[in-house]
Amino acid sequence: MIFLTIFSISKSFSQKDTIHIFGPGGPYPAMREAADNFEKKFNVKVNITKGPLKKWQSEAEKKADLIYSGSENMMSTFLSIFKENINSKTDYPLYYRKSGLIVRKGNPKKIKNIFDLQNSNLKIMVVNGAGLIGVWEDIFGKMKDLDAFRKIKANINYYAEDSASAEKHWKENSDVDVWITWNIWQISNSDSADFISLKEKYTIYRDFGIVLSKVGEKKEVVNLFYEYLKSKEAEKTFNKWGWK
């Protein structure tokens, strides 16, 4: 691996130096903005393919310079699937985001906390895959109240496969009252959603991480972007999109 810092490079690269990145949709807005800033700084094209793994696995096996994840269980999957293509020693957790409740703009159902989700007139959506595997169960499990758990579970009327599917369902079905997910999705849907933070004991955190491919780690420009994502400039971008 070529070790660089963003301060050790002053030259501008050629537009032929394209970086190919693959990963899930959740971190994409922050990744895209960070990549745009990097492109302007170093005259490099950064292609990002986002979405469920099945959408980009085949292409990533051939072209990936860097892969990013939305949780540790997701990164573990990537490390296993792409074990012949990536250098697991470059796996690096960077930022995290928190779970909470996304509600309709103005919070018409006046929801204040997870116990309010027992109200029988609510329709709740959860995600059962990707970076949200087990999150809603972990949140409700912390109540240590099976009666409340049963009532809330009875109000779940949509189980999304991933966050992209959940976002689509949220936009197309205005009768969904609550979307249990990460804070970052409210930022991406601020026109239709408000975010309710949970008490700390009910909050789940999961991280965004990056890893280099064996091809990418040999490229100066890819190593530079890898280090750029660790910079204060990139941190400000991720903070803007809800990552800490």
Domain shared by 57 and 81, yes or no: yes
Phi and psi dihedrals of 176, rounded to 5?
-75, 120
Say what the pLDDT of residue 3 is: 46
> Who's near 178: CB < 8 A, 6+ residues apart?
101, 102, 103, 109, 111, 117, 122, 123, 124, 125
Domain shared by 140 and 58, yes or no: no
Number of domains, the chain: 2
Looking at residue 129, its pLDDT comes to 87
The verdict on 134 and 196 lying in the same domain is: yes
| Pairwise pLDDT comparison (134 vs 3), residue with the higher score | 134
pLDDT above 80 for 156: yes
pLDDT at 12: 56
Range scoring the smallest mean pLDDT among 4-13, 47-56, 225-234: 4-13
Interval 19-41 mean pLDDT: 97
Residue 175 belongs to a domain: yes
Mean per-residue pLDDT for 213-228? Answer: 97
Confidence of residue 6 (pLDDT cuts 50, 70, 90): low
Is the pLDDT at 131 greater than 70? The verdict is yes
Q: Which residue has the tokens 């099976």?
A: 146
Domain-located, residue 1: no
For residue 92, the tally of other CB atoms under 10 A from its CB is 15
pLDDT per residue as tens digits for the range 34-89: 999 999 999 999 999 999 999 999 999 999 999 999 999 999 999 999 999 999 99
CATH of the domain at 106: 3.40.190.10
84 and 160 together in one domain = no
**Residues 109, 195 within the same domain:** yes
83 strand-pairing partners:
none
The confidence score (pLDDT) of residue 17 equals 80
- The answer on 172 and 106 residing in a single domain is yes
> Are 109 and 135 within one domain?
yes
Q: Are 53 and 81 in contact (CB under 8 A)?
A: yes
Q: Are residues 212 and 185 in the same domain?
A: no
User: Between 10 and 50, where is the model more confident?
Assistant: 50
% of the chain exceeding 90 in pLDDT: 90
Same domain? For 58 and 124 the reply is: no
Query: Would residue 13 count as lying in a domain?
Result: no
Cβ-contact 195, 101 below 8 angstroms: yes
Q: Is residue 167 part of a domain?
A: yes
pLDDT of 1 higher than 60 = no
Global pTM reads: 0.89
What is the residue range of 58's domain? 18-95+207-240
Asked if residue 7 is part of any domain, the answer here is no
Tokens 């018409």 belong to residue: 108
Q: What is the DSSP string of 106-127?
A: T-TT---SGGGGG-TT--EEEE
Q: Are residues 108 and 179 in the same domain?
A: yes
Calculate mean pLDDT across residues 88-100. 97
Asked if the model's pLDDT at residue 5 lies above 90, the reply is no
On the question of pLDDT at 10 being above 50, the answer is no
Instruction: Please check whether residue 155 lies inside any domain of the structure.
Output: yes
Cβ contacts of residue 232 below 8 Å, gap of 6+? none
- Residue 104 in domain: yes
pLDDT tens-place string over residues 190-202: 999 999 999 999 9
Mean of pLDDT over the chain: 93
Q: Is 151 found in the same domain as 89?
A: no
Same domain, 102 and 177: yes
Taking only the tens place, the pLDDT of each residue in 169-187 is: 999 999 999 999 999 999 9
6 part of a folded domain: no
